A = this chain, B = another copy of it.
Amino acid sequence: MTEIKPDSSEPPRLGGATQIDVARRAGVSTATVSRVLNGSPLVSRASREKVEAAIRELAYMPHEAARSLATRRSRTLGAVIPTLTNAIFAAGVNAFEDEARRRGHALFIAVSNYDPVQEGFLIRQMVERGVDGLLLVGNDRGAEGLEMLVSSGLRCACAWAYDEAAPLANIGFDNAAAMAPLVDHLVASGRRRVAILAGVLAGNDRARARLDGTVARLADHGLAPVAVAETLYSIRRAKEAARALLEVGPDAVVCGNDVIALGALAAARAAGLGVPDDVAITGVDDLPISAEMDPPLTTVRIPAEEMGRRAAAELIAAIKEDRPVSSIRLGTRLVVRRSSWRKPGAS
């Protein structure tokens, strides 16, 4: 006959106390506790202090799920990205998380492995989890998933791209335009036999835009690529793809990103080709390692950190102000390093 006195019973474990326990201990109602928790000004100093003391003594922790249910807000952001194993995505997400956290939001993360079907599935999960805002990569997704997103009213930002015609807000840069200064630089330094080693093109508007942008700019110079190949995003796979590509005898290889370029660099070295003397190699991203390679890699700098940070800030601002997410256009910058140098005038 062990009877539990409801008033004196301590919560079974730390963090197991509820608002009711706190209210009882502080001698107030749960409404007042809630007000203290949410920083409402309609609480007297005395009540506030009593509640705060009770919270401390009971090691009370608010239950976010209950709060979400009651407020219909989760203070949570989601990010669905192709992978974390590419440093440029990791950097963007890292900044996104940091900024979201500073602004009081937690982050759900999900990795699609570049699979559009999987991505749609994950987006749906994010909606079910009740995220307040969602970070996606690029604009390449099916109409049905898009429809769900739009009609669900979920705030959404698509990063790593900037397209006026995009159906959702873009916070990123123009992938095609980013390639122009790079092509100009190669052509100006005498490269004529340009090969392109693109990333996976299917379901990846960024990779296609980079390829298209490169081809278009070459055309502006009256040139066409001497070869175009596609590769998965890993150094090893890119190295293999580059080996074949180099047999065409290009004097420049424009790679879809730095990871691919790193693979191409390795392939050139293995083939006994001099970089940049025999062949120039360029990437896109400007990873930290790219500057420290031998030779250092010419690339196009992507503002991944700023992109992540601003996406989080914009999403949260849009949520707070109850307005649609605005697009933000960021710039890229050509970073010329030794992997593409050549003495002027040489052919």
Asked if A347 lies at the interface with its beta carbon under 8 angstroms from chain B, I say: no
Q: How far is the CB of A329 from chain B (nearest CB, A)?
A: 25
Pick the most buried of A234, A263, A294: most chain B CB atoms within 10 A of its CB: A294
- CB distance B85 to A90 under 8 Å? yes
Measured CA separation A66–B130 after assembly (Å) = 10
Residues of chain A in range 40-76 having any CB-CB distance to chain B below 8 Å: 59, 61-66, 68-69, 74, 76
- CB distance A127 to B292 under 8 Å? no
Of B69, B127, B292, the contact of A262 (CB 8 Å cutoff): B292
Measured CA separation A101–B87 after assembly (Å) = 22
Of B68, B152, B236, the contact of A288 (CB 8 Å cutoff): B236
Q: Provided the pairs A107-B109, A235-B289, A292-B266 are in contact, do residues A128 and B90 lie with their beta carbons within 8 angstroms?
A: no
Stretch at the interface among A1-9, A91-99, A134-142: A91-99
Asked if A323 lies at the interface with its beta carbon under 8 angstroms from chain B, I say: no
Measured CA separation A14–B69 after assembly (Å) = 18
Residues of chain A in range 134-180 having any CB-CB distance to chain B below 8 Å: 147-148, 151-153
Q: How far is the CB of A240 from chain B (nearest CB, A)?
A: 12
Pick the most buried of A84, A106, A266: most chain B CB atoms within 10 A of its CB: A84
Query: How many residues on A have C-beta within 8 angstroms of the other chain's C-beta atoms?
Result: 58
Say how many copies of this protein the assembly contains.
2
Of B62, B94, B151, the contact of A85 (CB 8 Å cutoff): B94
- CB distance A235 to B83 under 8 Å? no
- CB distance A63 to B130 under 8 Å? yes
Measured CA separation A113–B68 after assembly (Å) = 28
Asked if A239 lies at the interface with its beta carbon under 8 angstroms from chain B, I say: yes
Chain B residues, CB < 8 A from A114: none
Asked if A15 lies at the interface with its beta carbon under 8 angstroms from chain B, I say: yes
- CB distance B69 to A65 under 8 Å? yes
Chain B residues, CB < 8 A from A185: none
Chain B, Cβ-Cβ closest to A73: B65
Chain B residues, CB < 8 A from A292: 235-236, 239, 262-263, 265-266
- CB distance B101 to A94 under 8 Å? no
- CB distance B14 to A128 under 8 Å? no
Of B101, B130, B236, B266, the contact of A64 (CB 8 Å cutoff): B130
Chain B residues, CB < 8 A from A109: 97, 107-109
Chain B, Cβ-Cβ closest to A93: B84
- CB distance B83 to A111 under 8 Å? no
Q: Give 7 new A-B contacts, CB below 8 A, not counting A15-B148, A84-B84.
A: A63-B69, A64-B130, A65-B65, A66-B69, A84-B97, A101-B122, A106-B129
Q: List 12 A-B contacts (CB under 8 A).
A: A13-B152, A14-B147, A14-B148, A15-B152, A59-B148, A65-B129, A84-B94, A85-B94, A87-B87, A101-B110, A101-B122, A263-B292
A residues bordering B, Cβ < 8 Å?
Answer: 13-15, 59, 61-66, 68-69, 74, 76, 83-85, 87, 90-91, 93-94, 97-98, 101, 106-111, 113, 122, 124-125, 127-130, 147-148, 151-153, 234-236, 239, 262-263, 265-266, 269, 288-289, 292-294
Closest 6 CB pairs of A and B: A65-B68, A14-B151, A84-B94, A90-B90, A266-B292, A84-B90
